[in-house]
């Protein structure tokens, strides 16, 4: 059965979302159709709106969500109609090189590669006004119903509050995992976190959970500082308050640089600063923010020659299908909190207002 429902369609870059009636085709073999109950707004969605992340149009964005399985295609065994689920923008096929390697989590079935905007079979399940509409990261959650591949959905605790655990679909897991999985922050260490949006605050939580003794939060928006301190930051600094480069300030504050630094903004200048502020010999710097499509980064090789490590982290390094149900279980056990990451709750028809709040740092 084709479902007709409402979705927020982006017809072109730098334009608002239009709430449209779309047709959502039934799931094909190994696919799952989900009724979306709650979705978060992530800066990566906005990167598509602004053109920093190049995707085909028209498109239905959104990739941080939770919902209920409406129907399944042939051969689907891991979920059934009625199950509570989180769509996974980093799938876990279980068969590719990354999935089979204990160190990797970036499945080759992800939409970040060659098939941008389409499901693994190279087609779309969305139609609007007779036109095919593209998927985003294999999830597309700014719609009442979406279709994902079975490798891109995780069944979660039926008691979990979907309007909270939707954040485990991207923002929380990405930041928390960058600290715990990618950097492997150690007890007693010092950390610097550049950018205090939802993902940056989740990095702060991860550093604290790992036992870091000093967590320095860096942002040009001082309104973010109170929440950062509430979640574990020991120091908060605004680069605008200094007349020297921020990496020099951090070097002085820590007597030679932090053990771990995290860039959670998606700007090449802050990526370079985050690398430079970690200890020259054993510092580890992790890129968590999505880099702009066309930009390149120039860095003095001496920064790496002396022993620093520079790493990237997508979805916090978690193997998604394995980790998401466990993270939801940890949330239910109160291992970590999600409420402080939720600033506003809007009806989804006010999606454009939500993006305005994101862009103004609120």
Selected catalytic residue, list 30, 42, 93, 278: 42
Residue 63 known to be catalytic: yes
Judge whether 303 and 274 are in contact, CB under 8 Å. Answer: no
Query: What DSSP designation does 29 have?
Result: T
Burial class (CB in 10 A: 0-12, 13-18, 19+), 257: buried
Three-state SS sequence of 157-184: CCCCCHHHHHHHHCHHHHHHHHHHHHHC
Q: Which residues, including other chains, have CB under 8 Å from residue 120's CB and lie 6 or more apart?
A: 109, 138, 149, 151
Residue 151 known to be catalytic: no
The residue behind tokens 């939707």 is: 166
Residue 309 known to be catalytic: no
Selected catalytic residue, list 99, 107, 166, 170: 170
Residue 237's DSSP bridge partners are 218
Of 123, 147, 142, which is closest to residue 18 (Cα–Cα)?
142
Residue 277 known to be catalytic: no
Query: Which helix (H) or strand (E) element contains residue 95?
Result: none
Selected catalytic residue, list 30, 44, 277, 313: 44
Selected catalytic residue, list 5, 50, 63, 236: 63
Query: What DSSP designation does 292 have?
Result: P
First CA to last CA distance, the chain: 40
Residue 107 known to be catalytic: no
Catalytic center residues: 42, 44, 47, 63, 170
């Amino acid at each position: 059965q084709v479902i007709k429902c409402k979705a927020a369609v982006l017809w072109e870059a730098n334009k608002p979302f239009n709430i449209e009636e779309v047709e959502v085709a039934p799931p094909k073999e190994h696919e799952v159709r989900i009724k979306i109950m709650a979705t978060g707004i992530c800066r990566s969605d906005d990167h598509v709106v602004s053109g920093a992340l190049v995707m085909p149009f028209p498109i239905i964005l959104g990739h941080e969500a939770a919902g209920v399985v409406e129907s399944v295609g042939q051969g689907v065994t891991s979920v059934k109609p009625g199950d509570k689920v989180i769509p996974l923008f980093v799938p876990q096929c279980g068969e590719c090189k990354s999935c089979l390697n204990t160190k990797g989590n970036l499945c080759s079935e992800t939409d970040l590669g060659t098939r941008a905007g389409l499901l693994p079979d190279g087609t779309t399940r969305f139609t609007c006004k007779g036109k095919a509409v593209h998927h985003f990261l294999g999830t597309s959650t700014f719609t009442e119903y979406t279709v994902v591949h079975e490798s891109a959905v995780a069944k979660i605790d039926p008691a979990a509050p979907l309007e909270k655990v939707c954040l485990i679909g991207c923002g929380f897991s990405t930041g928390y995992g960058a600290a715990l999985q990618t950097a492997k922050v150690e007890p007693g260490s010092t950390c610097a976190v550049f950018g205090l949006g939802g993902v940056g605050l989740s990095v702060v939580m991860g550093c604290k959970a790992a036992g870091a003794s000093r967590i320095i939060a860096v942002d040009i928006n001082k309104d973010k500082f109170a929440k950062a301190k509430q979640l574990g930051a020991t120091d908060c600094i605004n680069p605008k308050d200094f007349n020297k480069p921020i990496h020099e300030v951090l070097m002085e504050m820590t007597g030679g640089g932090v053990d771990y630094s995290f860039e959670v903004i998606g700007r090449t200048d802050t990526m370079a600063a985050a690398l430079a502020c970690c200890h020259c010999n054993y510092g580890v710097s992790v890129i968590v923010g999505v880099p702009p499509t066309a930009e390149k980064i120039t860095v003095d090789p001496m920064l790496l020659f002396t022993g620093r490590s520079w790493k990237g982290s997508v979805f916090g390094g978690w193997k998604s299908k394995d980790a998401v149900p466990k993270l939801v279980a940890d949330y239910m056990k109160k291992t970590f909190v999600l409420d402080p990451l939720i600033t506003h709750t809007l009806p989804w028809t006010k999606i454009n207002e939500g993006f305005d709040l994101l862009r103004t740092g609120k």
